[in-house]
Structure 1
Amino acid sequence: MTAEPQDRAQFTAMTEGSQQDWTTIASHFIPFAARGGRRVLDHLKLLDGDYGGFPVDRLQHSLQTATRAHRDGRPDDYVVMALIHDIGDTLGAYNHPDIGAAIIKPFVSEQLHWITAHHGIFQGYYYFHYLGMDRDLRETYRGHEHFEACAEFCEKYDQSAFDPQYESAPLAFFEPMVMTLFEKPRQSLYAGAGAPA
């Protein structure tokens, strides 16, 4: 939907912005931000059918990871983290954990953010040596307060979520959790909570 000219800021450079311009922008930002969960769900659908050589496609891997976490009694924020940990696969072939971590950062604890950001190198423990790499690269982080939590995530949920026979919950099952989590940030990345970027 395109905003009418009167419902848009009037500046051509931010140095020319006025209070009215930023009031207008903020009035658009708040409802846009509130629909973040819907955009996350839509983006997850892009993983459907993308196998990348794996036994299951990237969407099924995400669903399976989240389903395993849910069935293990993990709280909703952990389950959503498990669901979107690989959401960056389609955009960042070399740094997908950074993308998932950036998306989830304002909405989860520091521990869940850290797991998302570092799961790639921890997951490497299970396969790096087959690619001529050091499987123990995760040892760089040994002693970090979230090391064990990340290792556990990979061991229990991530590395084991490639089973074509596993009956995962459908994406619709996770929709309420995703929508609730992305409804309101736990922390602001800016000085003023809810500030548009």
Structure 2
Amino acid sequence: MERVEFRQMKDGTREEYLFLDRLEEEFNQGLVDRLLRALRNLENSLSGYQVSRLEHSLQSAARAEADGADEDMIVGALLHDLGDELAPYNHSQLAATIIRPYVRGEVTWIIHHHGLFQKYYYAHYFGENPNERDRYLNHPWYQSCVDFCERYDQASFDPSYPTPSLEHFEPILRRVFSRTPFDSKVIGEEHPLEL
């Protein structure tokens, strides 16, 4: 079989769905390669900063690594702005959706909310509330998100910071994304990803 016969999903046969499942499994084996390409594309993304979006992402991950963060957090830091090009107004949520099946719930929650928490540093310049993040003040991962933004995200626009290459992080990406998706032993406790 080269392709299915059905034109509506409700008309598909077991054989067709098994065939599609095999193709999907093969396609999913290339996920890390697609993520690496998407990260490389950040080199030519949003301008105006002293570093490219790729350099910012690499610096964020390097700072997490230097801080002794685990691989989940390093991957979160590396991919936290991956959604900038396709979802400029909800890039945090897009990045969180990508990592969610593979990392612990805390990291997904942090990445999902980092865009709002980052506003602490600049929202007042636009007449907005820089403390809007405080609506999550009683959330168990509030401080973790504050720390992520302070240590890794907002600090990573420095052209003089010794930043490793993307290839340095490739083995970590491959390990994390080789996990069984949504393995409860990995993702652990999840909290609603409300906006």
TM-score with structure 1 length normalisation? 0.89
User: Who is 1:104 aligned against?
Assistant: 99
- How much has 1:49 moved relative to structure 2? 3.0
Aligned pairs, how many?
184
User: Who is 1:193 aligned against?
Assistant: none
Partner amino acid, structure 1, of 2:171: P
For 1:186 and 1:43, the matched residues in 2 are separated by 20
Match of residue 185, structure 1, among 146, 158, 180: 180
TM-score with structure 2 length normalisation? 0.90
For 2:110 and 2:178, the matched residues in 1 are separated by 21
Query: For structure 1, which segment, 24-33 or 44-53, has the greater mean C-alpha deviation from structure 2 after superposition?
Result: 44-53
User: In structure 1, the residue corresponding to 2:44 is in which secondary structure?
Assistant: coil
User: What are the residue-to-residue correspondences of 1:3-82 with 2, within 5 Å?
Assistant: 6-82=1-77
- The reply to whether residue 171 of structure 1 matches residue 166 of structure 2 is yes
Q: Unaligned stretches of 5+ in structure 2?
A: 184-195
- The reply to whether residue 124 of structure 1 matches residue 124 of structure 2 is no
For 2:48 and 2:167, the matched residues in 1 are separated by 26
Partner amino acid, structure 1, of 2:182: Q
For 2:136 and 2:181, the matched residues in 1 are separated by 26
- How much has 1:51 moved relative to structure 2? 4.1
- How much has 1:185 moved relative to structure 2? 3.4
- How much has 1:52 moved relative to structure 2? 2.8
Query: For structure 1, which segment, 88-97 or 41-50, has the greater mean C-alpha deviation from structure 2 after superposition?
Result: 41-50
- How much has 1:186 moved relative to structure 2? 4.2
Partner amino acid, structure 2, of 1:64: Q
Partner amino acid, structure 1, of 2:66: R
User: In structure 1, the residue corresponding to 2:101 is in which secondary structure?
Assistant: helix
CA distance 1:186–1:12, change in 2 (3 Å): closer
- The reply to whether residue 148 of structure 1 matches residue 136 of structure 2 is no
User: In structure 2, the residue corresponding to 1:100 is in which secondary structure?
Assistant: helix
Q: Unaligned stretches of 5+ in structure 1?
A: 1-5, 189-197
For 1:64 and 1:23, the matched residues in 2 are separated by 42
Q: Which runs of 4+ in 1 moved over 6 A?
A: none
User: In structure 2, the residue corresponding to 1:115 is in which secondary structure?
Assistant: helix
Q: Is the 8 A contact 1:34 1:184 kept in 2?
A: no
- When the two chains are superposed, the root-mean-square deviation of aligned CA atoms in Å is 1.4
For 1:111 and 1:94, the matched residues in 2 are separated by 22
User: Who is 2:188 aligned against?
Assistant: none
